[in-house]
Amino acid sequence: MNNAALLEYCMAKPGAEQSDQNQWQASQIKVGDVMFAMVCEVQGRPALAVKSSPELAESLREHHPEIVACERLNKAHWNTVFLDGNLPNSQFYSLIDSSYQLVLQGLPDHVRQELRA
């Protein structure tokens, strides 16, 4: 998996917008002004940050050595997934999909309806 493929996948989501987070040298991907993914480098390694429920976040960390608590975001909800690990591409896509859906569910109804139009 690489940064370009992840950004392309994220940007294909309805309402997705990309912005640069200069302090972290990262690309944030948001829907309705709420971030659902961030492509960055952590400790010199290419990485993806994604949101999940606290229970899923902990479970993923326990089962996958390339998934760790996010240093820069709420550790209960955000995981860093290193791109140079052994996760299959399908797992990256699934994590992005879940993060997007979680953020989408938290948006106000009128914002979600605008995205469907």
Report pLDDT digits (tens) over 59-87. 999 999 999 999 889 999 999 999 998 89
What values do phi and psi take at 90, rounded to 5? -60, -35
Q: What pLDDT was estimated at residue 48?
A: 95
CATH 3.20.20.70 holds for 3-13+25-104: no
Q: What pLDDT was estimated at residue 53?
A: 94
What global pTM score does this model have? 0.92
CB contact at 8 A, 80 and 65: no
pLDDT at 23 over 80: no
CB contact at 8 A, 79 and 92: no
